[in-house]
Amino acid sequence: MLPTLTYLQFHLVFSLPVLALLWYLAPRYEATRQRRAVGGIAILVAIAYAYTTPWISYMIRRGAWGYADGAVVARALSIPLGEYLFFAIQTIVVAFALHRIGFDPTFREGDFDRVPRAAGVLVGLAMVPIGLGLAWLDPSFLYLGGLIAWVGPVLALQWGVGGGYLARTPRLWITATLAPAAYFWVADRIAIGMGTWYLSPELTTGIAVLGLPIEEMLFFVAAGVMTINGLVLFEWVLDWNDRRRAAADAVAGAGSEPERDVRGPESPADPDPDVVDD
């Protein structure tokens, strides 16, 4: 049996090497695109901490999952230090994978269509009562139901803003989500097998794929989707704003052209200058 890794050792073995590799392979953009890419990643990391911390803390305190003795160095709000590091590491790994795959944030006509935006909002909002209902229905749905309810508001907001763009680029965000998720599935399965962390059999469904609980699989997909959508929509909104400002400047420029001097009618020439009126 393999020795149990601490959470920090897990990062040294599984998280940081793939992060370093993706950083090395990340495309080098021109200055403006580079600033926007870095800014988007920084914002998404901050959001990940703000939005994920309360949910993770609640789930740990409820006992949905736990950690092996000696696997955790320090905790804050019941969350291990390694878990806090994972918030940033996963977000950055997904971001680097997205930029390595590549995406076009160009705004196009139709991106503000109401149908995909409204549909996305309705689905996202419906996930909240569905998830909470599952968690209330049976303790074994606590993790699954809590996950669904946690993701719903974010998806509703993202689709409400850029549902038209997301609807026309499904291959992008599906591929960019599943590629890093597949890696984390493997790493998570190894960590569970080694006993670094474990899931409560009473607060999970017990459904697993090759030993990996379905809740963990869905978590990495959900976190990836929220990150991908946030990153692409951040740059898409900036592109839309650039185009809007350029159009406004063009209109303002056309309206402020200096008026040309218009000559009045000239006096008719004297038909015979040598003739003098008496």
- Taken as a whole, the chain contains a residue count of 278
Q: Compute the average pLDDT of residues 89-116.
A: 93
- Each as own residue / partner, the long-range contacts of residues 210-213 (CB below 8 Å, 24 or more positions apart, any chain) are 212/185, 212/188
pLDDT for residue 275 is more than 60? no
| CA atoms within a 13 Å half-sphere pointing along the CA-CB vector of 254 | 5
Tens digit of pLDDT for each residue in 151-176? Answer: 999 999 999 999 999 999 999 989 99
Please write the tens of the pLDDT for every residue from 187-234.
Answer: 999 999 999 999 999 999 999 999 999 999 999 999 999 999 999 999
**Count of other CB atoms within 10 angstroms of residue 43:** 13
Q: What is the mean pLDDT of the chain?
A: 89
Q: Do residues 147 and 222 make contact, with C-beta atoms less than 8 angstroms apart?
A: yes
Side chain identity, residue 181: A
Q: What is the pTM of this model?
A: 0.86
- Residues forming beta bridges with residue 197, ordered by sequence position: 67
What integer is the mean pLDDT of 43-50? 96
Q: List the domain boundaries for the chain.
A: 30-245
pLDDT at 5: 84
pLDDT for the residue 233: 96
- C-alpha 57: how far from its chain's center? 21
User: Cβ distance 154 to 161 under 8 Å?
Assistant: no
Give, to the nearest 10 degrees, the angle between helix 142-168 and helix 170-194.
Answer: 150
Can you tell me whether residue 39 is helix, strand or coil?
helix
Q: With 50 as the cut, is the pLDDT of residue 11 above it?
A: yes
